[in-house]
């Protein structure tokens, strides 16, 4: 870790690739919060409730405002996950 730190600090190249996005970007933080919430919901409520709750929020965060499309997409995605994982692959989601 010490060597890693020294190399990063010494490197003259690191400034070249820094992007304009701040880690405090509200959108970035919102997505991280959504990710954490989704994982917590998966762990305690199960996968399908998590998808049904987080997918619409995710789309709203993306800027989608057509609630009909959001509902349709959420339902279709959940159905597709069920078909692929549970029916086709025989997997068990929590």
Could you list the residues that contact another protein (CB under 8 A)?
Answer: 1, 3-4, 7-8, 10-21, 23, 25, 27-28, 31-32, 35-36, 38-39, 42-43, 47, 51, 54-55, 58-59, 62-64, 73, 77, 81, 85, 89-94
Contacts of 74 (CB under 8 A, 6+ apart): 51, 52, 55, 56, 59
- Closest to another protein by CB, 35 vs 67, is 35
Q: To the nearest whole angstrom, how small is the minimum distance from the Cβ of residue 56 to another protein? A: 9
Q: Which two tokens stand for residue 47?
A: 């996968």
Angle between helix 47-62 and 67-81 (nearest 10): 140
- Nearest to residue 56, comparing CAs of 72, 39, 36, 33? 72
């Amino acid at each position: 870790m010490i060597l890693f730190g020294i190399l990063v600090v010494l490197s003259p190249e690191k400034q070249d690739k820094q992007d304009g996005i701040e880690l405090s970007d509200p959108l970035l933080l919102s997505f991280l919060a959504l990710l954490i919430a989704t994982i917590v919901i998966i762990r305690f409520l199960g996968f399908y409730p998590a998808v049904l709750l987080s997918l619409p929020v995710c789309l709203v965060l993306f800027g989608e405002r057509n609630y009909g499309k959001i509902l349709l997409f959420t339902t279709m995605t959940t159905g597709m996950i069920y078909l692929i994982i549970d029916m086709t692959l025989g997997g068990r989601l929590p």
